[in-house]
Amino acid sequence: KVAIITGASSGIGKAASELFAKEGAKIVMFARRGEILKEIADGINAKGGVAVAFPGSVDNESDVKALFDLTIKKFGRVDILVNNAGVLRNNEGAVNVTDDDCYALFDTNALGTLRTCREALKHMLPAGKGTIVAVGSTGGILGHGGAAYALSKGAEVNLARQIAFDY
C-alpha cells in the first residue's frame, strides 16, 4: 500500500508513519517541520521501510497538490490518506475568541482536511478503492479545547462523515 500521512513530524502522525512502514506500506510523510520529518523518514528507511519526507502545509493548496503529484510520480498511486495535521492554539471561550483565531484553526483543521481529501479522491475514485482516515477530536463531537478548536474539529468530523456518505 501507499500511504500519505499529514502531520507526520510528531505524535500520532509520527507513530502512524512508523507503524504503516513496519507493516510494509510505502509512506509519504507530510508536515511543516522539514528537518524533523526527514530525520523520522531516515529512521524508517534505515529499518528497511520506505518513507519519503515532503515538507509542506495543509494550509497551502499548492503544497497539497505537490504532495499528491510527488506520491503519484514516485509510487504510481495513493491507497491511504491519514489526515492527522492539526493545531490547537486557542483555549478561549466563545466570549473571548476572535474571528482570526477561528480562521487560523479552521484553515488547518477543517479546510486542510478538505484539501487533502479532494486530492486523494481524484486518485481513489478512478481506482475504485482507497481509505481516508480523519484524526478528529472529541472536541469536535463533545466540545472542548476552546471555541475555535471545537468549531474547526466539528467541521472536520462532519466532513469525514459527509465523505463517507458520498463515497
Q: Which residues are catalytic?
A: 149
HSE-CB at 60 with a 13 A cutoff on CA atoms is 10
**What is the 8-class DSSP label of residue 59?**
T
Give me the phi and psi of 9, to 5 degrees please: -90, 0
**What is the 8-class DSSP label of residue 7?**
S
User: Which of helix, strand or coil describes residue 16?
Assistant: helix
Please choose, from the candidates 107, 79, 97, the residue with its C-alpha nearest in 3D space to the C-alpha of residue 143.
97
Please choose, from the candidates 107, 118, 132, the residue with its C-alpha nearest in 3D space to the C-alpha of residue 57.
107
d(C-alpha 99, C-alpha 146), whole Å: 13
Q: Extract the C-alpha cell encoding 85.
A: 495535521
Asked if residues 9 and 40 have their Cβ atoms less than 8 Å apart, the reply is yes
